Amino acid sequence: MKIAIYGPMCSGKTTLSKLIQEYNSSYTVFSFGQKVKDLAVELFSMEGKNRSLLINIAGKLREIDPDVWVNYVMNQVKDKQYCIIDDLRYQNELDALNGWTIIRLITPEHIRIKRIKELYPENYEDHIRNMDHISETNQLRFPKGTIEIDGSNSIDVIRETLQPLIHKI
pLDDT, tens only, 17-40: 999 999 899 999 999 999 999 999
pLDDT at site 169: 64
What are the structural domain ranges in the chain? Answer: 2-166
Kindly state the helix (H) or strand (E) to which residue 3 belongs, with its residue range. strand 2-6
pLDDT, tens only, 72-130: 999 999 999 999 999 999 999 999 999 999 999 999 999 999 999 999 989 899 889 88
Pick the CATH number of 2-166 from 3.40.50.720, 3.40.50.300, 3.40.50.1010, 3.40.50.10790: 3.40.50.300
Rounded to 10°, the helix 68-77/34-44 angle is 110
Cα-based angle 153, 136, 42 (whole degrees, multiple of 5)? 105
Give, as one character, the DSSP assignment of residue 143.
P
User: Whole-model pTM?
Assistant: 0.90
CA nearest neighbour of 163 among 27, 3, 19:
19
